[in-house]
Amino acid sequence: MLLANHPVMLPDAIRRLVEDQDDMEVVGDCRGPMKILQETGRLSADAVILAREQAEDPGLCSQLLAVYPDLIILSVTPDLTTVATLRLSSHRQEFTDLHQEDIVQPLRAAIRMGGHR
């Protein structure tokens, strides 16, 4: 999982949540659209976590999915209460009013649904 395009305080909270999961691993951390596109492939990331403005998913999502069709994107609001999963092969799903420790659950569900590698 690649942590990307995040506000300064967001990565530590998410990194701890992901690293506490037995079945997940953070493989990198980067900012900037070009760097995120490059690092996703270089690190063979299965998932990317992107910060978003309240109701808007980052514009980078469509580019990432075009280049990496098997990728799962977790779009997270800065307050960590709303998460959306995006995949090329399915509709966007949004989860709201989450507790911080629940953020990884939508990602896990997206992986199960898609039979992700």
CATH classification at residue 40:
3.40.50.2300
Find out whether 74 and 83 touch, Cβ atoms under 8 Å. yes
Find out whether 32 and 44 touch, Cβ atoms under 8 Å. no
β-pairing, 90-95 vs 83-87, is antiparallel
For residue 18, the enclosing domain spans 2-114
* Tens-level pLDDT at each residue, the chain (117 residues): 788 776 655 677 788 888 888 888 999 988 888 999 999 999 999 999 888 766 666 678 889 999 999 999 988 887 778 888 888 876 677 777 777 667 777 777 776 665 544
Nearest Cα to Cα of residue 52 among 60, 40, 42: 60
Please give the model's pTM, rounded to 2 decimal places: 0.77
Question: How many structural domains compose the chain?
Answer: 1
Report d(CA 87, CA 10) in Å as an integer. 22
